[in-house]
Amino acid sequence: MAKSHSTQSSTAPQDFRWARNAPALFLLVASLVFLGTLINNHHGPSISGGLWQGVDASDSGEPVFPAALLPVKASPEEAGYQRALADYLARRYRVSAQVTTNIVANAYAAGHKFAIDPMLILAVISVESSFNPIAESTMGAKGLMQVIPRYHADKFDALGGEKVAFETGPNIMVGAQILREYIRRTGDLADALQLYVGATSEENENGYSGKVMAERDRLHYVLRQYLNQGRIAQQPARPRLAPAI
């Protein structure tokens, strides 16, 4: 009885204080919910996408998340880069701008996710498939980045299985993940590219890796040209001087 009485007497003041503070707690919770709604409406899916983007940043070898979870909204500056690249690639490889725009956007998303230069991803696509999403080799390599699904079944399983090997997003995502693994394993880009294509140093020399790196440099040049044109366009016009009398 004494124990029961003691518990009641010590709890009663706490219950009173909780009841007295309940309106304030309710207002705080309501304010947080309202603030969250405003942020979500203003920024859209980019915030949640950014959270997912960092989930697979480790080298644990865990499967990648589906491309749909990646951020799809580029910054205005990055959107300009992507348009310039897509237009250039569409002209060079005689592919529709709609196709190259989608490929470039996915290359940027995969590049951000795996900390790889998007120009390197696009360069591999250039050499491997010339931007043909349904390219297939006699060895079973499929899609834009010519990935052989049976060697990377775990990566494709996380994205829907081998049936998505020809889809732009999953193919680029798996290809970029393979590139990252090879780069970190070898510590050298040329060696990593040799592993990617399945060639030894003697077989490859500087053939495949040289082609990819030359294409990467060409794409960076396209971006520099785009930036230079933008700077020239932003320069104020010089005032015309009145002719001397």
Distance CA 176, CA 158 (A): 15
Q: How far is CA 212 from CA 159, 182, 230, in A?
A: 26, 15, 27
| Range(s) of the domain holding residue 120 | 67-233
Mean pLDDT value across residues 138-164: 90
Distance, CA of 109 to CA of 78 (rounded, Å): 11
Instruction: Decide if pLDDT at 38 tops 70.
Output: no
CA gap 226, 16 in Å, rounded = 68
Average pLDDT on 223-228 reads 91
Q: Is residue 179 part of a domain?
A: yes
Residue 176 belongs to domain with CATH number: 1.10.530.10
pLDDT of residue 242: 53
pTM as predicted = 0.65
| Count of structural domains, the chain | 1
pLDDT at 244: 53
